[in-house]
Chains A and B, each alone.
Chain A
Amino acid sequence: MSIVTVQLGQCGNQIGQEVFSALCSDIRGTHGLCSKKENESYQGSCKERFFCEEESAVPVARAVLVDMEPKVISQTLSMAARSGHWKYSSHSHFCQKQGSGNNWANGYSVHGPRHKEAIMNLVQKEAEKCDRLGGFFTIMSMAGGTGSGLGAFVTQCLRDAFPTSFILNHVVWPYGTGEVIVQNYNSVLTLSHLYHSSDALLVHENDVIHKICAQLMNIKQISFRDVNQVIAHQLGSVFQPTHTAGGGSGYSRNPLGDLMETLVPHPEFRMLGLRNIPQMPESSLPYSTFSWPGLIKHLRQMLIANAPMEEGIDWQVRPPHPSSIPSTNKPLHFNTSIANLVILRGKDVHGVDLGSFQDPSLYTSWLNPQDAFNAWKTPRAFNKYEKSAALVSNSQFLLKPLDSIVGKAWNMFASKAYLHQYTKFGIQEEDFLDCFTTLEQVISSYTNL
């Protein structure tokens, strides 16, 4: 099944280009460490999912590029073409001239309706190119105006036009100390709207990725390109083909559907966090060895203690004792999960013991631990890592950052600052209040796990 990617705004397009680049270089690589047959099956599956083989020699990404100003898209298109190994279709982009001015209301209420037809036409064309459409993957940031506002509008349109398809929104959360002054307003508006039309939100926080770049990747002068490459690597480790537990010998045919089924059992809980291990500069790879037990142990503790990476984990945090009084006495820093998905790639995957992830004390009480935890595996190594593990988690990972964003936005809202910029495009105070209410509800639900 194929996934159509919709790249929205500067962030969405810059990340999208890195994602396709990472996927392509992974399948072309010779470090698969598995049998030739396995490798070919993997390559074929990846190509079917993300690329289209047109008459051109080079695979064409199944993507629609949208932005309200032209500079980024033209850069994105040319960078892809320059790689020589893949490219974007020359007819799959839509751009305007003025940008959205970091104004969510501009993106949602003005650009959205105005350009709906043109954008949905492009999406329809990409969808028709797929033999079987597996769903949509949108990439956007929530701090700006286009990715956030127009992105929320487009997601709604996708939901209306394709009511039975899966929609996964990849949302990038901005640095806490400001990239855009009104980022908290834009974030609140985006998240609350996405919650109503999307199936799940897969989140990356710039602060977290920045730390990974600084501490694990040893990059001195971190650029957005570095950040985007780490994000692309993490996304690749989730979306490259795997065998699901129940499936036969072939690669999973319905990745988005499987993802939703395992991780989103309840519509109130849609926020997914992503962790990856190991993460290191490419130059260090030949000098490192890993063992599965070590990787699994670290990954589990990253989940429990809500650590962003494998360094600096707080090993003191432990799951609550099963016999202790439930929920109200949970240790403070413990991260409760609803559902978890672990994806293992590389050497000797089949023998890995994942029992520690099935411990019922990690989860809320309303799901069977067997249902709450799933694992996907493939012996084919990813992106030159001999062994790698990814964790996609529906848990309290994002609770604190979400609470912080809503708090700051509320603070600003109370002083009525910047509201005139939104009301002039049709977003009124009541609309803001509705959004706050939606998100306070989400916060409350996740807090009470």
Chain B
Amino acid sequence: MTQSVVVQVGQCGNQVGCRFWDLALREHAAVNKKGIYDEALSSFFRNVDTRSGDNGPDIYKGKICSLKARALLIDMEEGVVNEILQGPLRDVFDSKQLITDVSGSGNNWAVGHKIYGCQYRENIVEKLRKTAEHCDCLQCFFIIHSMGGGTGSGLGTFVLNLLEEEFPEVYRFVTSVYPSGEDDVITSPYNSVLAMKELNEHADCVLPIENESLFEIVNKIHQMINSGKLGSTVKQNSLVTSSAGSAKTLQEKPFDAMNNIVANLLLNLTSSARFEGSLNMDLNEISMNLVPFPRLHYLVSSLTPLYTLADVNVPSRRLDQMFSDAFSRDHQLIQADPKHSLYLACALLVRGNVQVSDLRRNIERLKPSLHFVSWNQEGWKTGLCSVPPVGHSHSLLALANNTCVKPTFIELKDRFMKLYKKKAHLHHYLQIDGMEQSCFSEAVSSLSDLIEEYNELDATKGGPRIDPSRLKIAV
């Protein structure tokens, strides 16, 4: 069994990360009734003997003593991390996993990447090494950050670079929260485009998330609950947005519901690697199957169902509805419509009481309405994990490598150009040591190239299918 380490950077990264750890504990508590430290738990948690203090040795088998998250919490201001450490999760992190500063990055990518990057490089490397040493077989780093700010964006991508240098064999999965059009941070387009270049070059897989989509999902759930249309009550802990049953008992903050969705995404993504199933789908398989060309590694994700009703027997018809929903616009975690764009590849990770025939039936049913690129007409990767998420009898995570990310990137580039043409706020960046005009032009050029690659693929959509001729053998 392999281990993964979560690196949460910046305010957004840490808030999402906090929800992730909370829900992970909840999930494992639901599955692991005997309190034995097993392989599934070890993928994200260490078991430490704290009787002799925080520096106790790791316990690899046997009863759970004290679980510590395999995580690194990085933030250049103290507020968020301090809150975590005073909250119910304080025992899950030890002080050696934190890197904080006081003044923040002022929403400036250059401050995060160049100044703090340089300053904290040694510290970060050392802490990463320590975390890696505690792992028997480290497979993947998960980075959680936002693109629009300064720390998550700048320092986060600096860490990404570091990971590639220091741990080249370990996969790097990045969950990035992209800014929306009405983002109140004026310089978010600069920060995002500068960060994009790093993601293009150093990440194995990127899962872009947009706050707008998360917000719409949260609203949709509220409407459903309050409209009384459901007839029976909704199971509280099944809501993809809820923290019910987890350690958090204080009043939920506004972003908590949205962050829970992202946390659930990460849990579902890693479920097949942690739990058993009849067709396992590990993280290295996700990268292998969904990334046909090295730079096209942006995956659109969708989670269903969003909630379960309290009555237990879900008939088969509802199961098929789950598959249909995964492809609808409403369930995507970015503002995109994969159904009307071109699929390069698609992965379906099913959890719970679903069998291969259900999977096949739904693929057959949905395939005709989806457009796949000509050389990957049967481009489906499937996984079956027997353990469902908390509160559900089954669930589905769909990951699509689809050209529908293109509009998001084009919009980002447009917003960038609006500012850049006028050289607005540029001096804040250029005055930082190590930043030059060329950083900007290279970054936007990298983004343009990416958009162009998607354009070329889109151009093949709907055209006549000409299969290349096969090798001829002399008879």
- Residue A440 CB within 8 A of the other chain: yes
- Residue A93 CB within 8 A of the other chain: no
Q: Please, which residue of chain A has its CB at the minimum distance from the CB of B380?
A: A178
A175 to B379, CA, bound (A): 12
- Residue B375 CB within 8 A of the other chain: yes
Pair A214/B139 contact, Cβ less than 8 Å: no
Pair A414/B468 contact, Cβ less than 8 Å: yes
How many B residues have CB within 8 A of the partner chain? 48
Pair A177/B367 contact, Cβ less than 8 Å: yes
Contact (A224, B468) CB under 8 Å given A98-B284, A178-B363, A181-B376: no
Pair B279/A224 contact, Cβ less than 8 Å: yes
What residues of A have a CB within 8 angstroms of the CB of B382 in the complex?
178-180
A449 CB → nearest B CB, Å: 12
- Residue B414 CB within 8 A of the other chain: no
- Residue A182 CB within 8 A of the other chain: yes
- Residue A25 CB within 8 A of the other chain: no
What residues of A have a CB within 8 angstroms of the CB of B358 in the complex?
221
- Residue B288 CB within 8 A of the other chain: yes
What residues of B have a CB within 8 angstroms of the CB of A421 in the complex?
288, 291
Interface residues of B in 350-402 (CB under 8 A from A): 355-358, 360, 363-364, 367, 374-382, 384
Contact (A222, B357) CB under 8 Å given A14-B278, A97-B1: yes
Interface residues of B in 21-54 (CB under 8 A from A): 39
Over the window 414-449 of chain A, the binary record of Cβ atoms lying under 8 Å from chain B Cβ atoms (1 yes, 0 no) is: 111110110000000000000011001101100010
Q: Please, which residue of chain A has its CB at the minimum distance from the CB of B374?
A: A411
Contact (A412, B471) CB under 8 Å given A101-B287, A103-B288, A178-B380: no
Contact (A410, B378) CB under 8 Å given A97-B136, A227-B356, A421-B288: no
- Residue B237 CB within 8 A of the other chain: no
A109 CB → nearest B CB, Å: 14
Pair B356/A223 contact, Cβ less than 8 Å: yes
- Residue A113 CB within 8 A of the other chain: no
Pair B288/A102 contact, Cβ less than 8 Å: yes
Contact (A99, B284) CB under 8 Å given A176-B378, A181-B289, A224-B279: yes
Pair A415/B279 contact, Cβ less than 8 Å: no
What residues of A have a CB within 8 angstroms of the CB of B139 in the complex?
97-98
Contact (A407, B375) CB under 8 Å given A98-B139, A178-B380, A221-B355: no
What residues of A have a CB within 8 angstroms of the CB of B294 in the complex?
420
Contact (A101, B136) CB under 8 Å given A406-B470, A417-B375: no
A182 to B468, CA, bound (A): 18
What residues of A have a CB within 8 angstroms of the CB of B364 in the complex?
177
Contact (A411, B380) CB under 8 Å given A101-B287, A223-B357, A225-B278: no
- Residue B97 CB within 8 A of the other chain: no
What residues of B have a CB within 8 angstroms of the CB of A99 in the complex?
280, 282, 284-285
- Residue A69 CB within 8 A of the other chain: yes
Pair B357/A210 contact, Cβ less than 8 Å: yes
- Residue A114 CB within 8 A of the other chain: no
Over the window 178-199 of chain B, the binary record of Cβ atoms lying under 8 Å from chain A Cβ atoms (1 yes, 0 no) is: 0000000000000000000000
What residues of B have a CB within 8 angstroms of the CB of A10 in the complex?
279-280
**Option from B276, B279, B344, B355 in Cβ contact (under 8 Å) with A222:** B355
What residues of A have a CB within 8 angstroms of the CB of B471 in the complex?
410, 436-437, 440
- Residue B137 CB within 8 A of the other chain: yes
- Residue B467 CB within 8 A of the other chain: yes
Contact (A181, B381) CB under 8 Å given A99-B284, A221-B358: yes
User: Interface residues of A toward B: which range?
Assistant: 35 or more
- Residue A408 CB within 8 A of the other chain: yes
Pair A182/B288 contact, Cβ less than 8 Å: yes
Pair A224/B278 contact, Cβ less than 8 Å: yes
- Residue A75 CB within 8 A of the other chain: yes
Over the window 167-178 of chain A, the binary record of Cβ atoms lying under 8 Å from chain B Cβ atoms (1 yes, 0 no) is: 000000001111
- Residue B87 CB within 8 A of the other chain: no
Over the window 131-157 of chain B, the binary record of Cβ atoms lying under 8 Å from chain A Cβ atoms (1 yes, 0 no) is: 000001101000000000000000000
Pair B292/A417 contact, Cβ less than 8 Å: yes
Q: Please, which residue of chain A has its CB at the minimum distance from the CB of B272?
A: A71
Pair A214/B357 contact, Cβ less than 8 Å: yes
What residues of A have a CB within 8 angstroms of the CB of B374 in the complex?
411, 415
Pair A223/B278 contact, Cβ less than 8 Å: yes
- Residue B290 CB within 8 A of the other chain: yes
What residues of B have a CB within 8 angstroms of the CB of A181 in the complex?
289-290, 345, 376, 378-381
- Residue A72 CB within 8 A of the other chain: yes
Pair B375/A414 contact, Cβ less than 8 Å: yes
What residues of B have a CB within 8 angstroms of the CB of A103 in the complex?
284, 288
Pair A179/B279 contact, Cβ less than 8 Å: yes
What residues of B have a CB within 8 angstroms of the CB of A177 in the complex?
360, 363-364, 367, 378, 380
Contact (A210, B360) CB under 8 Å given A176-B378, A406-B470: yes
A388 CB → nearest B CB, Å: 25
A98 CB → nearest B CB, Å: 6
What residues of A have a CB within 8 angstroms of the CB of B279 in the complex?
10, 179, 224
Pair A178/B381 contact, Cβ less than 8 Å: yes
Interface residues of B in 1-31 (CB under 8 A from A): 1-2
A192 to B380, CA, bound (A): 24
Interface residues of B in 402-460 (CB under 8 A from A): none
A75 to B475, CA, bound (A): 49
- Residue B473 CB within 8 A of the other chain: yes
What residues of B have a CB within 8 angstroms of the CB of A415 in the complex?
374-375
Interface residues of A in 68-124 (CB under 8 A from B): 69-72, 75, 97-103
What residues of B have a CB within 8 angstroms of the CB of A69 in the complex?
1-2, 280, 282
B22 CB → nearest A CB, Å: 26
What residues of B have a CB within 8 angstroms of the CB of A418 in the complex?
288, 291-292
A145 to B281, CA, bound (A): 12
Pair B376/A440 contact, Cβ less than 8 Å: no
Over the window 290-302 of chain A, the binary record of Cβ atoms lying under 8 Å from chain B Cβ atoms (1 yes, 0 no) is: 0000000000000
A98 to B345, CA, bound (A): 23
Pair A224/B356 contact, Cβ less than 8 Å: yes
Pair B360/A175 contact, Cβ less than 8 Å: yes
B359 CB → nearest A CB, Å: 9
Pair B356/A70 contact, Cβ less than 8 Å: no
Pair A71/B276 contact, Cβ less than 8 Å: yes
Interface residues of A in 373-431 (CB under 8 A from B): 406-408, 410-412, 414-418, 420-421
Given A97-B136, A180-B381, A182-B289; 8 other pairs, CB 8 A cutoff: A10-B280, A97-B137, A101-B285, A178-B363, A178-B381, A181-B378, A181-B379, A411-B374
Q: List 9 A-B contacts (CB under 8 A).
A: A10-B280, A98-B139, A98-B284, A99-B280, A103-B288, A181-B381, A224-B355, A410-B470, A418-B292
Which residues of B come within 8 Å of A, CB atoms?
1-2, 39, 136-137, 139, 276, 278-280, 282, 284-285, 287-294, 344-345, 355-358, 360, 363-364, 367, 374-382, 384, 467-468, 470-473, 475
